[in-house]
Amino acid sequence: MLDPLPDWVPRRRAQIGLQIREARRRAHLSQMQLGERIGRDNKTISRWENALTAPDLTDLLLIADALGVPLSDLVQ
């Protein structure tokens, strides 16, 4: 049986989702436009922004590049 995630993990996932949303909006992109730039669908972007799932490192690198922000802006 897997141990449940520590309490801080869902909070951190939500914070990363918020950072992605804010950076996307500053870039004046819709979820669909960001998805097209990184090869993901808009539903995936929505799930990340709403902390239902978390992007992996490769996706975070693609997002940062597509939005023209440092990776650290998304994960701080």
For the chain, give the mean pLDDT.
95
Q: For the residues 67-75, what does the mean pLDDT come to?
A: 96
Give the pLDDT band of residue 5 (cuts 50, 70, 90).
Answer: confident
pLDDT tens-digit profile of 34-47?
Answer: 999 999 999 999 99
pLDDT at residue 1 tops 60: no
Nearest to 63 by CA among 14, 26, 10, 12: 26
CATH architecture of 8-75: Orthogonal Bundle (1.10)
Rounded CA-CA distance 42/28 in Å is 15
Q: Where are the domains of the chain?
A: 8-75
| pTM for the structure as a whole | 0.91
